[in-house]
Chain A
Amino acid sequence: MPHILFFSRNRSTGVEHAEDGFVKAYCRLQDSLMDAFVEIKVLLPDLELKDVRGVVYRSDQGVPSDVNESLRKAIGIRIGPGLLKIMKGLVGDREDLNELLNMLDECCQGVILSFTKDTLAKAPEDREKAKEYYAWLVKENVRLYDSCIAFAPDSPLVDGMKPPKGNDE
């Protein structure tokens, strides 16, 4: 049986940090059923969504007439926890907009990862020093503890650390 793909999808997300305090992110999705583009502009330091626009070039569900009107309902929210839930709540849980909201979320995740990258890039090459660096990151942020296998309670990166019991204010 020839291994021919029945369905394929490409999703590409890019993030630019502009000089004027804005961060721009875009997501292009192309798959067997849909071709669409979403672009956002986010203002630092609040990571507030200042502009959102989208285009649907092709969709098996037809092209919604109110793409931009709907996506712009997300303007004003800040990138942070629970973002997709907030966006779906504001824009509406419509099937024809569902993928566009996922793309908007990808853009926002890209913005977060663009800053995350800077923190991770500071990890030392030396294994022992790297371990100290990651342990320091966990101490700085309780939410990192047990957030993935690298920071699980039995991981050497959190060796000797007690499970967080809140902060010692």
Chain B
Amino acid sequence: MLKFMRNKVVGIERKDEDTLQAYGMLEDDIYAVELEVSIGLSDMVIRSIQGRFKRWTTPECPKAIPVLQQAVGFCALEEGFSQKVQKKIGRKGCRHFANLLVECCATAEQAAGLIRGRKAERVVAGSKGPGGTMQKEAKKHLEKSFEETRAARSEDRGGVVIDLHVHTYPASACSVARVDDVVVEAKRIGLDGICLMDHNYVWDRARVDELKRRHDFLILRGNEITTDQGDMLVLGLETPIQGIIKLDELRTMVSGAGGFIIAAHPFRGFLLFGSGQLGLTPEKAMERPLFKQVDGIEVLNSKVTEKENRFASEVAKGRGLPGTGGSDAHQVSDIGLYATRFFSKITSERELIDALRGGRYEAVAFKKEKDVF
């Protein structure tokens, strides 16, 4: 017997010389929504949208209808169009509307290609280097805090607390935190260092050295790499990895470079059900081949649930792997939610890797411990 079914139907009508009208319907066991989207044929820009719910779940869902207007003006040929719709219409409105809107536009694009007799070319967005500035007022206010936290840090000379999982913009497109602001915040709350873990991005050593000098703060370089077995926090690898790599290939490269691999948020699950519902136990999870390839497991991450963190911790213990903590910060306020406390001093990336291998550290809920928010 079918447990779930989803049907999506889209029809494209050519309204006039330069207008395509898409009629879309999504009907599944949970939702039923409809869209009528008007799209320019020459530029593939959304000119108007009308949406309707036929079935929905929460009493708040119908409020997603006006949010659809935010997509008016979006260009379906733009690089990252689908992600933009998910972000602006899915996250701020309804994911099902977002899904159907993407389907309507993809279908319209096919129709437009047929009409034009050629495939439309995608606009490739230019890349930008990392950087950023801070407003003077905020800087002044925070300088005061630095002095207080520096004093507090000097009391604890036995070791260091480092947020091992920090994303910055634009090195990570999903982050909104500029590196300078991240460092300012890390100092304000009393962290001893941060490790930049931007997605498939190797920070230039000279650039980071300059940041360290300018901020008088420990900034280390890592790289969050997506593999066939999930995301990995990699330290000590200078080679840029583009696209998806198999974990065993990454293992070989990192071993060759004398680096260290931490499985990032290994049990990050789904929005409305957990691994328990699937029957996953720590014992079964320990059998996953990936845990034979990594050197450590991230057991505290702020983007997963308490249960998922606990689960990761149980698996780490069961496999005899060390556990680390990192905020997985994508905005400045996330910095230091979780971190790793090392019981020895760390001043360089090599010392960090040696310390990680040595195993003398623990994952900590840093902000909560320090009561700094």
Interface residues of A (CB under 8 A from B): 3-17, 23, 31-33, 44-47, 76-78, 80-82, 85-86, 88-90, 106, 110, 112-120, 123, 127, 130-131, 134, 137, 140-144, 146-152, 155-157, 165-169
Contacts and interface: CB of A to CB of B under 8 A. Distances in A.
Contact of A7 (B11, B60, B63): B11
B8 interface: yes
B268 A7 contact: no
A169 B300 contact: yes
Interface of B: 1-14, 20, 28-30, 57-61, 63-64, 67, 90-95, 103, 107-108, 110-111, 114-115, 226-231, 243-246, 268-275, 277-281, 284-285, 288, 300, 302-307, 309-310, 327, 333-334, 337-338, 365, 367-368, 373
Given A31-B107, A86-B228, A168-B368, A14 B12 contact: no
Contacts of A137: 272
30 contacts: A6-B13, A6-B111, A10-B8, A10-B9, A12-B7, A32-B110, A44-B279, A80-B269, A85-B226, A86-B244, A89-B244, A90-B228, A110-B6, A114-B4, A115-B270, A130-B58, A130-B59, A131-B59, A140-B305, A140-B307, A141-B272, A142-B305, A143-B303, A146-B91, A148-B91, A149-B64, A149-B93, A165-B367, A165-B373, A169-B338
Given A77-B228, A142-B303, A142-B305, A157 B270 contact: no
A124 B307 CA distance: 24
Nearest to A11: B8
Given A33-B114, A113-B4, A9 B30 contact: no
List the 3 closest pairs (A to B, CB-CB), nearest first.
A89-B244, A166-B337, A166-B302
A9 B306 contact: no
Given A31-B110, A77-B228, A155-B60, A8 B11 contact: yes
Nearest to A27: B6
Contacts of A10: 7-9
Contacts of A78: 229-230
A139 B7 CA distance: 32
A82 B365 contact: no
Contacts of B278: 44-47, 115
Contacts of B57: 120, 123, 150
Looking at chain A's contact residues, is the secondary structure mostly helix, strand, loop, or mixed?
Answer: mixed
A24 B243 CA distance: 28
Contacts of B337: 165-166
Looking at chain B's contact residues, is the secondary structure mostly helix, strand, loop, or mixed?
Answer: mixed
Given A142-B305, A149-B92, A7 B111 contact: yes
A44 B300 CA distance: 25
A9 B8 CA distance: 8
Nearest to B303: A143
Contacts of A14: 2, 4-5
A12 B230 contact: no
B64 A148 contact: yes
Contact of A11 (B3, B7, B108, B304): B7
Contacts of B280: 45-46
Contacts of A32: 110-111, 114
B20 to A, nearest CB: 8
Contacts of B93: 148-149
B338 to A, nearest CB: 6
Given A5-B11, A9-B107, A46-B288, A115 B58 contact: no
Contacts of B11: 5, 7-9
B12 A6 contact: yes
B3 A17 contact: yes
Contact of B60 (A9, A17, A89, A157): A157
Contact of A12 (B6, B115, B244, B333): B6
A150 B61 contact: yes
B6 A4 contact: no
A31 B114 CA distance: 13
Contact of B110 (A3, A7, A110, A152): A7
Contacts of B111: 6-7, 32
